[in-house]
Amino acid sequence: EAGVAQSPRYKIIEKRQSVAFWCNPISGHATLYWYQQILGQGPKLLIQFQNNGVVDDSQLPKDRFSAERLKGVDSTLKIQPAKLEDSAVYLCASSLRRGNTEAFFGQGTRLTVV
Amino acid sequence: AQSVTQPDIHITVSEGASLELRCNYSYGATPYLFWYVQSPGQGLQLLLKYFSGDTLVQGIKGFEAEFKRSQSSFNLRKPSVHWSDAAEYFCAVAPNNAGNMLTFGGGTRLMVKP
């Protein structure tokens, strides 16, 4: 079974530039999550999708971050414009459904903003 | 809102020695509880989870954890550590009606001495 795929693995941008991350969840998984992991901290949930609808985006900085999952499969997370404090690993995860099922994580995209 | 505290940022143990990683949570009811492991450059892998029932939970790679409601704790244990266990360990909680919206602790980095 293929895991959660993310790209790119690494990205370096200058502040005020924009960047996008892509995630392909495990086939058949209805629920998709984006987490932000700043160096030395645990991951923080940014947004949760159920199919192509947003379930929770209360911790997403909506002035600069956006995410979509148009066809209920792949998802993109965008930052525009980036700030230095956005430097982090962005993790995508998916689960079969909401509720007490296991979430599977991708390897993440490491973003460095200079 | 729930929160998770992992009091030990770094722990060093000798190979073959026993291990206990501490986790304390704050939540109004009994949450779902998880332990994840993250190796360098890798995504998060689920070690074990507690939803209900037996408070001693067995996981992969020889790990176990015990839920103690009176202490709001969910400590991770392993009787004999192997060098390959060196990694970062994260405790996480989720509301018992949204099992995958995880709140993570800050992590404990485990180093194993030969």
Identify all chain A residues contacting B52, using CB atoms and an 8 Å cutoff. none
Q: Which residue of B has its CA nearest to A40?
A: B106
pLDDT tens, N- to C-terminus, chain B (114 residues):
789 999 999 999 999 999 999 999 998 777 899 999 999 877 899 999 998 889 999 999 999 999 999 999 999 999 999 999 999 999 999 887 665 789 999 999 999 999
Chain B positions contacting chain A at CB under 8 Å are 4, 32, 36, 41-46, 49, 51, 90, 92, 98-107
Smallest Cα distance from A78 to chain B, Å: 20
**Residue among A40, A45, A102 whose CB faces B46 most closely:** A102
Please indicate if any CB of chain B lies within 8 Å of the CB of A8: no
Q: What is chain A's mean pLDDT, rounded?
A: 93
| Inter-residue contact B82 to B111 (CB < 8 Å) | no
Q: What is the pLDDT of residue A100?
A: 62
Q: Rounded CA gap, A16 and A60, in Å?
A: 18
* CB spacing of A44 vs B42 below 8 angstroms: no
The answer, for A99 touching chain B at a CB cutoff of 8 Å, is yes
Distances (CA, A) of B96 to A100, B16, B30, B50, B114: 8, 36, 7, 11, 40
Taking the CB of residue A56, how many other CB atoms lie within 10 A of it? Answer: 15
- Which residues in chain B have Cβ-Cβ distances shorter than 8 Å to A106? 43
Q: How far apart are CA A41 and CA A55, in angstroms?
A: 24
Cβ <8 Å between A42 and B106: yes
The side-by-side arrangement of strands in the sheet containing A19-24 is A5-7, A19-24, A75-79, A65-68
d(Cα A21, Cα B24) in Å, to the nearest integer? 33
Least Cα separation, residue A34 to chain B (angstroms): 10
Q: Which residues pair with residue B67 across a beta bridge?
A: B74
CB-CB under 8 Å, A33 with B44 = no
Spatial contact of B47 and B60, defined as CB atoms under 8 Å apart: yes
Helix (H) or strand (E) holding A89: strand A88-95
**What pLDDT score does B98 carry?**
64
Q: Do A105 and B45 touch (CB under 8 A)?
A: yes
pLDDT of residue B86: 96
Structure tokens that stand for B67 in this block: 């839920």
| Percent of chain A whose pLDDT exceeds 90 | 85
Q: Is A100 on the interface with B (CB under 8 A)?
A: yes
Parallel, antiparallel, or unpaired for β B44-50 and A109-113? unpaired
CA distances from A105 to A15, A93, A102, A108, B14 (A): 27, 4, 10, 8, 29
pLDDT tens, A13-56?
Answer: 999 999 999 999 999 999 999 999 999 999 999 999 999 899 99
pLDDT at B99: 59
* Of residues B43, B51, B90, nearest to A42 (C-beta): B90
Q: What is the pLDDT of residue A1?
A: 63
